[in-house]
Amino acid sequence: MLLYRLLISLFAAAVLLRHGSSRLSVPDPQKGPHVWLHGASNGELASVRPVLERLIESRPDRRWLVTANTETGRDMVAGWNLPGVSARLAPVDLQRVTRKVLREWSVTAHISLEAEIWAHRFLQCPGPVILLGARMSEGTARGWGRVPGLARRVLGRVGFASAQDAASMSRLNALGLPETARGPVVDLKAFYAPPTVSPPAEFRRESTWLAASTHEGEEATVLAAHLAARASEPDLRLILAPRHPRRAAEVRAMAEDLGLTVAQRSLGETDGTVYLADTMGEMALWYAAAGRVFVGGTMTDRGGHTPYEPAAFGAALIHGPDVRNFRAAYARLAGFGAAIAVTGTDDLVQALTTLADPAEQARMGDLARETLRPEAGLETICDKIAGTLEPG
């Protein structure tokens, strides 16, 4: 424990240099007992929203303290306007700071998401500790393995754990997670429910493809493939949604240099063989508009973005080789032939051509959606959480 306290103190010093004293407390405590739910940032917290909403619906009297390591994560949760939920920046896991938060917010239980395993929060929480969508990589497991006593104590406090893949669950068990705490393997992102949206009428789903959340280095491949694929499919239209909309001018110039016409969403333009979706918060529109989706971040060193959201819309999936952020999900897709893996422009052109037939698009989209269906349903997970929060 001494080593952990030393390391967390060094980490806290670095955080305080960057953020000031905002991470040494959780201000404006609300009256009454709270369940403390913590996720690193937007992705983790967005994935748990369906669970949180179901738990609030079943127990509207329960209060929640939801914390994030980032201001954007905190603001996102605050914007949900869920009853009984207070969104705050997470405190650093110093012993005194954690004890103060637990006391001032009358914390009765702690739920932590994915890789957020913090020793003082787990050990000092007066009630049940729950780990959801747990992710334990080989490297992180080796780190915890250097302090086996601490790992057993911390994980021994967990009353219920669901892991997002079987390998993570196996590593957690080896480090000290009680067998009685072992729950189903479920990636919370699999609970994504597509909203009802109406994409612009000019898009015909069967002749539209989407390059979603692309990064620098990917757009050149995407645009070259689009140009080549249009030789055999002249009506093909591309929706190109860069991960960072601020790169819109750069991406537009790349397309126009190839002789492609561009319509830019932020400028209100509509006519173009490439539709540059350079706005925030509208990805559901583009998933609904496209029958084929290339998942960005998979041809770079970013680890790939989620396949769950496009699959939920019934889109046929295409991705590059770098899928480590969702390794288990992409392995399942590969095992069932439910996605097409590509390595470059030629492969991407071939994938687009293979999926040009609307019937093949629909078949692959349905297969991806079925393949990524979670092992346990939302209701089952929520029942397990409720049973741990209220034993007996």
**Domains defined for the chain, CATH in brackets:** 2-187+375-389 (3.40.50.11720), 205-371 (3.40.50.2000)
In the chain the first and final C-alpha atoms are separated, in Å, by: 33
Q: What are phi and psi of 159, to 5 degrees?
A: -95, -25
pTM: 0.83
Q: Model confidence over 4-39: pLDDT tens digits?
A: 766 666 666 666 666 666 778 899 999 999 999 999
Among residues 135, 141, 137, the alpha carbon closest in space to that of 161 is found at: 135
pLDDT tens digits for 232-277? Answer: 999 999 999 999 999 999 999 999 999 999 999 999 999 999 999 9
Which are the contacts of 253, defined by CB distance < 8 A and separation ≥ 6?
Answer: none
Average pLDDT, the chain: 94
Q: Is the pLDDT of residue 48 over 80?
A: yes
Written as six digits, the tokens of 158 are 């967990």
**Contact by Cβ (8 Å): 293, 287:** yes
Strands 262-264 and 274-276: parallel
pLDDT surpasses 90 at 350: yes
Amino acid type, 88? R
Q: For residue 392, is pLDDT > 60?
A: no
